[in-house]
Structure 1
């Protein structure tokens, strides 16, 4: 019997949560709400892992390059969308804007509500731009992020996977770096 995708996300959430000291709410038993919580957590988790792998410092960027925080929000938002697309097969369609708000609060918990909202809005604008972009390298970026995200889900939930989730963090870091360079060029 095949494991439903929603259960895979919940299992991956549990595995990722075990690696962190994050405090999160207990799962409610409502599949739709629990999968939403899992997807937002995983998207933020992967983004923070990628940021750290690159040696970037959001704390310093708050002062020197605040717009880069919007890039992180965009990356997490794209990851959230990719994580949740297969849920349509189970009639679960999470709200992207609500997901962005939850992810933003997780990524930028140290910021004031106003600054956090600015990061979320910036990330949503960037997400829209990247989603509509037709440049070959951005089309390739979206495809690569899609493949990496699905590979992460499989690596984290399939014991027979030849790759472990931690081995994919450099891939996410490289993809995040592409996004950072893209928006740095536009400045």
Structure 2
């Protein structure tokens, strides 16, 4: 199970609040004191500006596990122009299972596409947490997220992830994938 960031500090913070402990009386160099100041708005965290997404672009994909000839499996989704433009000329782009030729594709409000997140393998630099003051290693690479769908040869999500992990993309980027979801809205 994935852990939320600062989950340990959040549990301690909640326990101290429940016990009515004045966190301001604790030593200032403790992580919990720094976390409490940030949580209560006394410390402002600097957030770097993100690169502009360049707007949205509609792309078509075929949902995993559904017959590719079924009109209901041909779904229109959106991605950022920034991510699409970065990878449309990549040799492995066809493996993503998306197309910008959207004729015949339909939107489906209860469908959330599978996503592939690609982070450029950059150099790691030392950084200091604005919240706790601790040092950590941070990857300097840019991140891109694209929807993924089935292709002629790969019909299932796990197969798609295995295919992408064994591709050149895994050499140039850190990869993570999330499966598609069908919601009941």
TM-score for the superposition, normalised by structure 2: 0.25
Structure having the higher strand fraction is: 2
TM-score for the superposition, normalised by structure 1: 0.25
**Higher gyration radius (CA):** 2
